[in-house]
Amino acid sequence: MNTLDHGFYRVAAAIPQVKVANCRFNIKQIENLIRKAIDSQVEIVCFPELSVTAYTCADLFFQETLTQEAEKAVEHLKKESEKWSPITFIVGAPVELNSKLYNCAVVCRKGKICGIVPKVYLPNYSEFYEKRWFEPYRLDIPAIDVNYAGDTAPFGANLLFNFDGAKFAVEICEDVWSVIPPSSYHATAGAQALFNLSASDELTGKQHYVKSLICQQSARCHAAYIYAAAGFGESSTDLVYSGNAYIYENGRLLAESKRFQFDEQLIINEIDLELLNAERKKNTTFISRPAPDNYREIIICKEEKTKSRYSELYRAVNPAPFIPATENYNESCGEIFSIQVSGLAKRMVHTGVKSLVIGISGGLDSTLALQVCVKTVDKLGFPRKTIHGITMPGFGTTNRTCMNALHLMDVLGITAQEISITAACEQHFRDIGHDPSIHDVTYENIQARERTQILMDIANQTNGLVVGTGDLSELALGWTTYNGDHISMYAVNSGIPKTLVRHLVRWVADNQMDDSTRATLLDILETPISPELLPADAKGQMTQFTEDVVGPYELHDFFLFYTLRYGFSPAKIAFLARQAFRNAYTNDAILKWMNVFYSRFFSQQFKRSCIPDGPKVGSVNLSPRGDWRMPSDASVEGWICEGFARSNP
């Protein structure tokens, strides 16, 4: 696989203009679209079913004139491709073998037919009578060599094409509608990209079913699925064709055509084979095996490349991968919140505690955790006074955060306390002989541990459970005081990254709160992120800003997602970050904060090795009990060196 492009391969689905039974016209349209694909640096382009002749030729398929013209047209296209920049193209044509006609996909590259794939399942109902003209093929028949279009090529339904280390296979239209599609076998034999040449007529509601079918097959096979169906020119007699084309990757739609267009279309996107391989490695139910005996693997030659092909991608890279998609945003936020509530409720019921104890700072994390506590006791039928919220102002606490904490506790009707930690910390400075004018890590952590001690002791007094407020991003960076805010009895935010915390607080404000509470929540959202452990300035304003020290959380969450979810290299993550944040951060800034991310992620693993229980809400989590198991003393050198050696554009 070409690592210069981080596993991306640019593919296209083409819908040409066609004239029924006019092979010369059709091949010219196909040729024009291939040239456009070459100009867009496409590696593989797929055309619809029987695109050389058109699908709706009916009994004309019995005419030698049509089948011979189709073969001549393919031969012409094959010869022309010798002059082009390398591109693999797949066209549909009728192929005669042993006095039988087969509905086939012909795979060509650089003046050569690489393979011919016949259709396995033929429809024979309603408006389709393919068995009248074509012979079905069987997957279990070994491939044979046939002479076609002036070339000798493998012929069979079980061909696996090896494209510079990437593997793809082909099925045709009805094949994907079968109980066990050929593409399922192709995927387990190693195909990461599946191409479907189709000619499916249009019916009311059919498009949604087709998209669902392809989406599921792509997800089930952990594969890319490229689907090209016949368009306007095929519409003849009683049937209408709308020109559906889709590119899916692991169940995600990357690109689709416009329906009912009168002109040709070419949809282009990149498929990420590294992503697909990562999914297959993690999914233990995915059966991966070398191509069995009845599969024939065909090596497609490719020129060695000395530089990346793509500086920009067609595909959009989401800068906030943890944030739910717009179309199901409210539903997803509600589900995440419900997972947190259910986890905490179970812990309360199981332990039989009489109270929940939580530190309220006036910041985002404790605000979300408090909302979870309130919803939990409401659902369990306990009074809100069951919740003991304690705000503990210290040397760096500002009036803004303190007042927000007090107001939030008041309007939510919980048991509220304000306990200053200043005197206790000053006593501790004296006890250990620390100069309080030295604002070092000792100065900061004494405050964090004092707050945790207060919470634990009040939990003992009230037969309660200390609810942790720290989030997933802080765990990843180790931005937490060991045996301070690092410790709790149940950490409701441990599966929520900082970028998602912000969205959930806003969602709660918009959907769960009255106007007064909403105003407080919105002010908390506008407050800069800070641990408030260093003294405020002369005007009482905070002087410590977390993102100035560790970097922007939106970048760190991006790095975290692709590091844990797919195991991508630093070079690839930096490449993706440049695509996602092209208008927000320079390449130097991305690399600077990536260096911070990996350095902290590796050096702070010892903290994650002993974190409290907490609810898992997504595919990325850092619990050492099942989600992320990492040696506490692993070296980061390979990640930093690799990232900086290969990340510069």
Return the pLDDT at 261.
77
Query: For the chain, which domains are there?
Result: 8-300 (3.60.110.10), 326-551 (3.40.50.620)
User: DSSP string spanning 486-517?
Assistant: T--SEETTTT--HHHHHHHHHHHHHHT--HHH
> CA-CA distance, 116 to 144, in Å (whole number)?
10
Q: How many CA atoms lie within 13 A of 320 on its CB side?
A: 15
Residue 168 has pLDDT above 90, yes or no: yes
Instruction: For residue range 551-593, list pLDDT tens digits in order.
Output: 999 999 999 999 999 999 999 999 999 999 999 999 999 999 9
> CA-CA distance, 649 to 574, in Å (whole number)?
9
Tokens of 583: 């208008």
Query: Residue 43's closest CA among 159, 166, 158?
Result: 166
Tokens of 647: 């990340």
Greatest pairwise CA separation for the chain in angstroms: 101
> CA-CA distance, 481 to 489, in Å (whole number)?
16
> CA-CA distance, 320 to 327, in Å (whole number)?
15
Q: Are 183 and 159 in contact, with CB atoms under 8 Å apart?
A: no
State the catalytic residues: 49, 119, 173
Q: What is the mean pLDDT of the chain?
A: 91
**For the chain, percent helix, then strand, then coil, each to nearest 5?**
45, 20, 40
Instruction: For residue range 220-237, list pLDDT tens digits in order.
Output: 999 999 999 988 777 666
Residue 540 has pLDDT above 60, yes or no: yes
> CA-CA distance, 184 to 181, in Å (whole number)?
6
Instruction: For residue range 15-35, list pLDDT tens digits in order.
Output: 999 999 999 999 999 999 999
Instruction: For residue range 98-142, list pLDDT tens digits in order.
Output: 999 999 999 999 999 999 999 999 987 655 678 899 999 998 899
Tokens of 473: 């991003």
Share of the chain above pLDDT 70, in %: 95
Instruction: For residue range 450-504, list pLDDT tens digits in order.
Output: 999 999 999 999 999 999 999 999 999 999 999 999 999 999 999 999 999 999 9
Instruction: For residue range 289-322, list pLDDT tens digits in order.
Output: 766 678 999 998 765 555 667 778 999 999 999 9
The pLDDT confidence band at residue 238, using thresholds 50, 70 and 90, is low
DSSP H or E run through 289 = none
What is the reported pTM? 0.91
> CA-CA distance, 144 to 157, in Å (whole number)?
10
**Rounded average pLDDT over 426-433:** 96
The pLDDT confidence band at residue 215, using thresholds 50, 70 and 90, is very high
- In the beta sheet, which residues pair with residue 116? 106, 155
